[in-house]
Copies of this chain bind each other. A is one copy, B any other.
Amino acid sequence: MATKLSGFPEFLPRERIVEQQVLDHLRRTFELHGFANIETRAVEPLDVLLRKGEIDKEVYAVKRLASADSEPAELALHYDLTVPFARYVLENAGKLDFPFRRWQIQKVWRGERPQQGRFREFTQADIDIVGRDELPFHFDVEVARVMAEALAGLPIPTPTLQISNRKILEGFYLGLGITEPAAVMQVVDKLDKVPAEKIHELLLEQGLDGSQADRVLALAQVVTTDTSFVGQVEALGVEHELLAEGLAELAQVVDGASGVDGVVVTADLRIARGLDYYTGTVFETRLAGWEHLGSICSGGRYDQLAQDRRTTYPGVGISLGVSRLLVPLELSASRSVPSAVLVAVDSEDTRADSDAIARRLRARGIPTEVAAKAARFGKQIQTAEKRGIPFVWFPPAAVKDIRSGDQVDADPDRWTPPAEDLIPNILTKEQNT
């Protein structure tokens, strides 16, 4: 990886092939579910970003160099895809069909201090469903399911989709007689970084009594891979209408998202996303063995994604941090080029013959390149080897698998490489070194 400008990762061709395959899989999954794609411009008016943004997100201002120094910057690079999407929905509301399902994969920029897993430029993959005035609850189940299927096909350690519902937390706290549930949620949200005893202390500082604090922590300890969390929560003996509603919702989402091979789905009541604008379902995702990366895929339900004078647009969505996932995993591909075949060149006088063979292979969808030079064949095979190209074609009619050394007679209008050699394969860091 070339990271000559700190925080701005760039991939080598073999690494970019992995990213391409990941993005292709995400797109395929999203589109199979009928999500439409949009791209929004990289810049937004600065005041929009500052109004909507969290304070700690450092914004990159953008200004024409030719403009006067004294002229204040009015534009800035977007730091997520949610704020631009909300703006896009409001601008185009008359031309969109609601509920509007959209996927969006773009770079975003944050002027953060670079550190492991934090970048100044990185790629996010977002899905959101936005309604006009209302958005039925079954869409919460849908985004969870779609993202579970998207994660399932990725070359990554087993992901655990951790789902919670803020109505459960809020209802439980209200049922316990806690008057400021939001403040308690913010404390509980720190459980990832702060030991439980310390959280208990902090809760007492919030004015909770010991029994309240115990039960708040007991709720946060509920984690199940099925809907048995409902019984566990009920056993804590707290009752509230909002709590019951949240339990019913979460049971539906966990049920609907489960059963996708390769993805663990949990109801995890530690997940609060306390600082955000979520109003019901919330999601986080952690990777087995890579928990230190934090959540690589997060989101939830927000009853007000956007609003204009007449209309409110509720939404539910999840955002996957593609760079945050791929950069640390250090995956690579079996070759540095798409080519499955290198056609050898006997002499520069007969290059046209090699070109013609390549054209016939490409016509049948086989990525093919022609040797750069009419060097001796041993050297041309080395070139292919260095790039990881599995097959070398010797004009007019022989093809060699350079891994096994097997050479067969072949017709460029009929021969096809095995399906697993048609596109590059993904290698883990261990396989690669």
Contact = CB atoms under 8 A, between A and B. Distances in A.
Given A38-B13, A365-B32, A63 B61 contact: yes
A190 interface: no
A373 B4 CA distance: 52
Contacts of A41: 5, 8-10, 121
Nearest to A5: B41
Instruction: Please give the count of copies of this chain that the complex contains.
Output: 2
B40 A10 contact: yes
Interface in A241-299: none
B365 A12 contact: no
A139 B348 CA distance: 13
Contacts of A11: 38-39
Interface residues of A, number: 73
Interface centre among A46, A97, A351, by most chain B C-beta atoms within 10 angstroms, is A97
A401 interface: no
Contacts of A60: 62-65
Contacts of A97: 336-337, 383, 386-387
Contact of A17 (B37, B42, B66): B37
A62 B77 contact: yes
B99 A65 contact: no
Interface in A359-396: 362, 365-369, 372-373, 383, 386-387
Contacts of A2: 88, 91-92, 95
A351 B121 CA distance: 41
Contacts of A172: none
Nearest to A61: B65
A92 to B, nearest CB: 5
Contacts of A5: 41, 43, 45
A127 B95 CA distance: 35
A321 interface: no
A31 B366 CA distance: 9
A188 interface: no
B34 A339 contact: yes
11 contacts: A2-B92, A8-B43, A11-B38, A12-B92, A13-B38, A17-B37, A31-B367, A35-B337, A36-B338, A97-B336, A97-B383
